[in-house]
């Protein structure tokens, strides 16, 4: 049985190698039947997402049943084609969403409007841009920019793409010629407005109640943690010092977690404080390059990925009550952890089984068991 599986796998690799070879792509045109066979195998059997964006291109649908991921594959002409995929977690069925396929990289995915809308950040040679998918109709809505704001540019930082809890409005950033500005898109009205904040905005997210915006204001060599009302009034500085990253409200808005990275040498720290900045507590000794910080749905744990410069990225959990830091997913690159909307499962992308192919996996932090949600040869 092992011999048969081995021969089958080698055969698949051979067909894949042939289908991706420029020499064979050109020469197969002389043999139409063989060419058609290779094309058929590639488009139907080997139509696989071979890479997943390394930022936040994995996201749970608010219904808790499906997971979306942006992934790419090669065409016969060796071009990268990105598509948006949906995985039904209970049945493991995978489908392409809205028939989207294109050369622009899908960097981030965010859900709004009870899962009816999906915000996507794309990247190409001209910079980044944002579109919103109406999941029910399958149509894309270009994101309008406020006057004087550009967001298809190489000049500004990636957008937060954070929806209000009720999904009616979405935060994003745009470039005004001097700094990154904070903007709000109203899905009901179809218009965008500028939040008058006199800061270079690095990251932003909503409070769980939707009455505040939590953001990073870049100042010289530090990123201050601040809040502001959606209309730009009541700016409050929560933490002025330190190179702070990824501030996140806890599910009920009582606490804020964030990373603090030293400017030159030293290990990053994980900071947790009350929403008003009081009772600040740091946990030192984090792994290098922490990213993608998120809370569990009940607020008992934090998840993030970290990447040593000499090794692949791994996923960690931190329990504030016991100050426990634990690596929960390693082996290959493990990226983009996203927690279940109502539950304890964690979904992430990894090439833990094959170094050149990514798939989606789920786990619970305490189990140590992993379930592959998507295969490479079923798409």
pLDDT along the chain (379 residues), means of 10: 52 47 41 46 40 62 88 72 86 83 86 82 82 87 81 56 86 83 89 90 91 91 92 94 93 96 86 96 92 91 86 90 90 86 86 79 88 61
Q: Which residues contact 132 (CB under 8 A, 6 or more apart)?
A: 117, 118, 119, 120, 140, 141, 143, 170, 185, 187
**DSSP state letters, 190-210:** TEEEE----SEEEEEEE-TTS
* Per-residue pLDDT, 313: 87
3-state helix, strand, coil in the chain (%, to 5): 10, 45, 40
Residue numbers of the domain that contains 23: 1-46
Distance between CA atoms of residues 30 and 27, nearest Å: 6
Q: Is residue 30 in some structural domain?
A: yes
* Per-residue pLDDT, 35: 44
Distance between CA atoms of residues 221 and 196, nearest Å: 23
* Per-residue pLDDT, 372: 87
Distance between CA atoms of residues 304 and 365, nearest Å: 12
Buried (b) or exposed (e) across 41-63, using 16+ Cβ within 10 A? bbeeebbbbbbbbbbbbbbbbbe
* Per-residue pLDDT, 94: 84
Q: Is residue 79 in some structural domain?
A: no
Q: Is residue 41 in some structural domain?
A: yes
Q: Is residue 3 in some structural domain?
A: yes
Q: Is residue 103 in some structural domain?
A: no
Query: What are the Cα distances from residue 86, in Å, to 48, 59, 138?
Result: 13, 10, 13
Which candidate, 349, 357, 292, 306, places its Cα nearest to that of 58? 349
Distance between CA atoms of residues 238 and 253, nearest Å: 14
Residue 189 exposed, middle or buried by CB count within 10 Å (0-12, 13-18, 19+): exposed
**DSSP state letters, 168-182:** SEEEEEEE-SSSEEE
Torsion of CA 248, 249, 251, 254, to 10 degrees: 150
Q: Is residue 60 in some structural domain?
A: no
Q: Which residues contact 276 (CB under 8 A, 6 or more apart)?
A: 238
Domain count, the chain: 1
Q: How far is CA 256 from the centre of its chain?
A: 20
Cβ atoms of 205 and 225 within 8 Å: the answer is no
Q: Is residue 214 in some structural domain?
A: no
Query: What are the Cα distances from residue 320, in Å, to 13, 302, 317, 326?
Result: 46, 8, 10, 12
Q: Is residue 96 in some structural domain?
A: no
Which candidate, 188, 139, 138, places its Cα nearest to that of 163? 188
Cβ atoms of 99 and 85 within 8 Å: the answer is no
Distance between CA atoms of residues 96 and 72, nearest Å: 12
């Amino acid at each position: 049985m092992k011999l048969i599986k081995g021969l089958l796998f080698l055969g698949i690799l051979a067909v894949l190698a042939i289908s991706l070879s420029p020499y064979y792509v050109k020469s197969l045109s002389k043999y139409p039947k063989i060419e058609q066979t290779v094309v058929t195998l590639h488009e139907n059997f080997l139509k696989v997402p071979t890479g997943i964006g390394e930022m936040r291109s994995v996201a749970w649908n608010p219904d808790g049943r499906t997971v979306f991921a942006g992934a790419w594959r090669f065409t016969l002409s060796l071009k990268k084609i990105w598509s948006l995929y949906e995985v039904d977690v209970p049945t493991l069925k995978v489908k392409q969403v809205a028939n989207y396929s294109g050369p622009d990289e899908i960097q981030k995915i965010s859900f709004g409007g009870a899962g009816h809308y999906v915000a996507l950040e794309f990247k190409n040679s001209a910079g980044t841009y944002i579109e919103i998918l109406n999941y029910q109709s399958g149509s894309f809505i270009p994101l309008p920019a406020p006057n004087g704001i550009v967001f298809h540019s190489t000049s500004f930082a990636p957008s937060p793409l954070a929806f209000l809890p009720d999904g009616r409005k979405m935060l994003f950033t745009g470039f005004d010629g001097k700094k990154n500005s904070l903007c709000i898109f109203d899905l009901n009205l179809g218009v965008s407005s500028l939040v008058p904040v006199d800061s270079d905005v690095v990251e932003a997210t909503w409070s769980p109640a939707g009455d505040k915006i939590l953001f990073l204001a870049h100042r010289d060599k530090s990123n201050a943690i601040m809040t502001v009302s959606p209309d730009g009034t009541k700016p409050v500085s929560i933490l002025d010092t330190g190179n702070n990253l990824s501030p996140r409200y806890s599910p009920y808005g009582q606490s804020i977690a964030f990373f603090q990275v030293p400017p030159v040498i030293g290990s990053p720290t994980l900071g947790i404080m009350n929403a008003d900045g009081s009772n600040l507590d740091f946990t030192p000794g984090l792994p290098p390059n922490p990213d993608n910080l998120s809370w569990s749905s009940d607020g008992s744990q934090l998840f993030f990925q970290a990447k040593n410069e000499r090794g692949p990225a791994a996923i960690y959990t931190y329990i504030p009550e016991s100050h426990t830091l634990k690596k929960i997913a390693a082996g290959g690159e493990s990226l983009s952890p996203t927690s279940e909307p109502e539950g304890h499962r964690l979904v992430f992308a990894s090439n833990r089984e094959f170094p050149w192919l990514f798939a989606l996996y789920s786990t619970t932090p305490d189990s140590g068991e992993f379930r592959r949600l998507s295969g490479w040869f079923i798409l």
